[in-house]
Amino acid sequence: MSIGIKIKKGLDINIKGAAASQDAIVERRSATAAVCPDDFPGFVPKVEIREGDAVKAGAPLLRDKNYPGIKLVSPVSGVVKSVVRGERRKIERVVVETGDGGPSRLDNGRAAADAAAAREFLQLSGLWAMTRQRPYDIVPLGDAEFRDIFVSGFDTAPLAVNPAGFTAGDVKALEAGVKLLSLLTSGKVYVSRRQGEMLPDLAGAEMVDIEGPHPSGNVGTMIAAVKPVNKGETVMCLDLPTLRRVGTAVLTGIVPMNTVVALTGSEVTEPKLVKTVVGAEIAAITDGDIADDHRHHRLISGNVLTGVKVEADGYLRWPYRQVTVIPEGDDVDEFMGWASLSPKKLSTSRSFPGHFLFKKAFTPDARLNGGRRAMIMSGEYDKVMPMDILPEYLVKAILARDIDRMEQLGIYEVAPEDFALAEFADTSKLELQKIVREGLDYLRKELS
C-alpha cells in the first residue's frame, strides 16, 4: 500500500549535457579528500585531530561543540594534510591525503537495540550529520525527537541521474536503514519514489508515489503533500544514498564512503557517471572531460539551481551527487545583452521566444541577465512552488524579520532548496535561497 501524489506546479529545466547512459561508470581516484563544515548547517565544528595524524576512513575529524557525540568523519584512510582556516579562525575544510589502510569499523552489534543505541550509532558514524531536520533545515540536534522521518527517493533537479535498478543487496541495505531509523520516531518512515520507477516497496516504510515536474523530488514537496510540519514538531529528512549508507553501516559496521557522481553540463565533452569518494577533488572528477573551447567555465558542485560554485582545485561538496560545468558568461559579447530575443535564451517569461521552446535542450550560462530590483508581487513564485504557502509574503516577512508573520506563513515547513525554482523565475533577481537561509538562522537564534 502506498500514497499517490500528483504535483502540477513546478518546472523541468531542460539543459544540454545529461549523462546518456548508466551502463558504464568510470572510477577515478582522488589524491586527497576534504570535509567542509559549511555543508552542514547547524554543526559548530571543533577539531579532533592534528595535521600529520594518521586516520582511517570513517574515523572522526570534527565534533559538534554543542553536541560532542555528533561527528564529521574522514572520507578516506590516510594522513591529515591540512586544517584550513579562514577569517577569525573559522574552519573551512579538513583535507586528508589518501593513503593505504582499511576503513574504521563500528560496533554494529547493538545499533538497532533501541532508540538510544541507534542515535549514538548514527552520530558516531557521521551519518547523523548527513541528515537534516525541519524546522530550520539544519543537522538534527543531538536530542531531537522526530514526529516522522522522510526519505527522498529520487532527484528531479536539472541533469540529475537516478538509479536504473536496485539489486537484492541494495534493497536489503535500504530496509536495514529503514528499520534503524524507525527506532527514532513514534511516527512513520516515508520513502518517496517517482511513479513507474524501479524502487520496490521497502519493509517498514510507507511508500509515497509522486508524479510531476521538479521539485517533485524535493523532500519538502513530499512533506507538504503528506504531513506538513507545524510549530513545535520536528521531522528528519534524508536522501536515498544516505539511507543506503545507514543500512550498510548497520549490516557491516563500515560506513561506505564511495559515491557515484553525475558529471554533467554543456561544457563537459562526454557527460558520464564517475565513481569516487565523498569529498573528492573536483579536478579528479573532471579530469580531461571539460571542453577546451577557450571559454570561462563555472564549476558547480551540485545542480545549477542549488549547487555551490567551486574552483578547479576545490572539492566535492555535500550531498555528493553531481558536478555541473556550464559557461561562466563573463566573456560573452551579445547584441542587446540580457534583452536579446535570441531563441537560445532560456526563460520562463513569455517576452522571450525561448519560453515557447522549453522542450528543447538549452545551453545557459551563469549570468544574472538583468539587474536586482525591488520585489515585484507578480505571483511568479506560486507558479513553480507546489507547497501550500504564500511564498512572496513569506519572503517579505523574512526580510522584515517579523517572527510572528513568518510563523503564520509557514517558515517551519521550508528549506532554501524549496525556493530554488522561484529564484530562477524571479523577475526581481532576489537571492531567495540566501534570504530563506538567513531567515531560518535568525528564527532559530531568536527562539533558542
- What pLDDT does residue 359 have? 65
At residue 12, what is the residue type?
D
- What pLDDT does residue 59 have? 97
- What pLDDT does residue 177 have? 98
Which residues, 6 or more positions from 326, have their beta carbon under 8 angstroms from its beta carbon? 15, 17, 265, 266, 267, 297, 298, 300, 304, 363, 364, 365, 366
- What pLDDT does residue 339 have? 64
The residue written with cell numbers 565513481 in the block is 275
Q: Which three-class secondary structure state does DSSP give residue 172?
A: helix
- What pLDDT does residue 374 have? 84
Omega before residue 158 within 30° of 0, cis: no
Residues 150-170: tens digit of each pLDDT: 999 999 999 999 988 899 999
Which residues, 6 or more positions from 46, have their beta carbon under 8 angstroms from its beta carbon? 62, 63, 64, 65, 68
- What pLDDT does residue 448 have? 86
Cα–Cα dist 147/2, whole Å: 19
- What pLDDT does residue 204 have? 96
Q: What global pTM score does this model have?
A: 0.95
Which residues, 6 or more positions from 408, have their beta carbon under 8 angstroms from its beta carbon? none
For residues 144-168, one letter each, b for 16 or more C-beta atoms within 10 angstroms of the residue's C-beta and e for the rest, the string is bebbbbbbbbbbbbbbbbbbeebee
Average pLDDT of adjacent 10-residue blocks, the chain of 448 residues: 91 91 87 98 97 97 98 98 96 96 92 95 98 98 97 96 91 98 97 87 96 96 96 97 98 96 95 96 96 91 97 96 93 68 68 62 82 83 94 96 97 97 91 97 95
